[in-house]
Amino acid sequence: MLVNVLTIIFAVIMFGIGVFVFTHQKKSFLVFHPESIPALSLLMKVFGIIFIICGLLFLIPLFLNNEQLLFWMLIIACFLVIGFQIAMAQYFGKK
């Protein structure tokens, strides 16, 4: 039961991050300025879509009650987030 609740929370967080990243591809936030760097805007668009899809796909193992599928999806999501952070680090402080 607790795993199901945590999966729902994780799916909502991934979906929320995806929507935030996707909607801020033309607005500056924190120290990033995607409105002046087209490559950063494209990066945010791609990862925003990936995070939205990932957030929605996390509901599949919840309904199938498949813990092994959930485990592998968590591993993949962790690598996606790490990849996004590494890619964003290239544009840290650039205008």
**pLDDT for 3:** 82
Question: 19-34 pLDDT, tens per residue?
Answer: 999 998 888 877 888 8
Beta strands per DSSP E along the chain: none
**Residue ranges of domains in the chain:** 2-89
Distances (CA, A) of 70 to 3, 10, 14, 42, 76: 10, 11, 14, 29, 10
Q: Is 78 exposed, middle or buried (0-12, 13-18, 19+ CB in 10 A)?
A: exposed
Question: 42-76 pLDDT, tens per residue?
Answer: 999 999 999 999 999 988 888 888 889 888 998 99
Q: What is the token pair recorded at 12?
A: 């909502």
